[in-house]
Amino acid sequence: MNAFDRDQSADIAVLHYGDGEYTVMRPGRHVLCAVTGQKIPVEALRYWNPILQEAYAGPEQALKRWRELNP
């Protein structure tokens, strides 16, 4: 690694998900969708589960996870 290589893990934020809001525990540019692994920019994050502490890329992924947990 040289001075111009970026550590990709430094771009991943660590958030604590609450009801209707989240707290940034470690700043970063994005979080990962728990269903797809897709990068979600923190400023675009709208779906998460505060009980499971998971982020979702969109409503389809959130519904998919809900259906997995509630057959």
Average pLDDT, consecutive stretches of 10 residues, N- to C-terminus, the chain (71 residues): 55 96 97 98 98 98 96 89
How does strand 22-26 pair with strand 14-17?
A: antiparallel
Q: At residue 3, what is the residue type?
A: A
Q: Which of 23, 10, 11 is nearest to 53 (CA)?
A: 23
> What is the spatial distance between Cα 65 and Cα 54, in angstroms, rounded to a whole number?
10
pTM: 0.83
Output the pLDDT for position 5.
Answer: 52
Q: How far is CA 14 from the centre of its chain?
A: 8
Q: Which of 22, 68, 29 is nearest to 46 (CA)?
A: 22
